[in-house]
Amino acid sequence: MIRALLLIACSVLTIHADAQQLYRWVDADGKVHFGDRPPAAAKAEPLDGKLKPVNGAEPTRRQDFPDTSRSREIEREYAARKESQQSRSLQQQQIACQRARRQLQILQGRVYFVDENGQESTISERQRQQEAQKLEAEIRRYCG
């Protein structure tokens, strides 16, 4: 019985020792392979001590992580700047809409201009219609 237990213990230790051994080799086609047993046809390089454990027992230290508070601050600043730009764009659009509507309303009445000498000058009906079409296009564009 002691022999059986000793044999089992030796088997377990042998399997455990072999499981921790890792080899790297390159085949005839230039492909890199990894395995727990070296191949007979190729020269294998043992990787003992060259690999670090993936799941180490060391706890992760807090300073290893980037400062997330600064990242959040930058994100908030970006969002505020984007909102401000959208607000300015909307305000500019509203101003353009109001200007086009006001000018169209003026253009639909009796149209005349005052030159630098204070004299009235008129425009033709064709010019008035062209201006009205331009302003209507601006209203469609800016006023939705």
Q: Are strands 45-46 and 23-26 parallel, antiparallel or unpaired?
A: antiparallel
Q: Do 135 and 100 meet the contact criterion of CB atoms below 8 Å apart?
A: yes
Q: Is-above-0.85 flag for pTM?
A: no
pLDDT tens profile 73-96: 888 888 888 888 888 888 888 888
- Tokens coding 50: 């060259």
d(CA 89, CA 91): 5
Q: Cα–Cα distance between 90 and 49 in angstroms, integer?
A: 64
pLDDT(57) > 70: no
Decide: 132 and 104 in contact? Cβ < 8 Å. Answer: yes
Residues contacting residue 32 through CB under 8 Å, at least 6 positions apart: 24, 25, 26
User: What is the rounded CA–CA span in Å between residue 138 and residue 93?
Assistant: 10
- Residue 60 backbone phi and psi in degrees, to 5: -75, 135
pLDDT tens, residue by residue, 4-54: 555 566 665 555 444 568 888 888 888 888 888 888 888 888 877 776 666
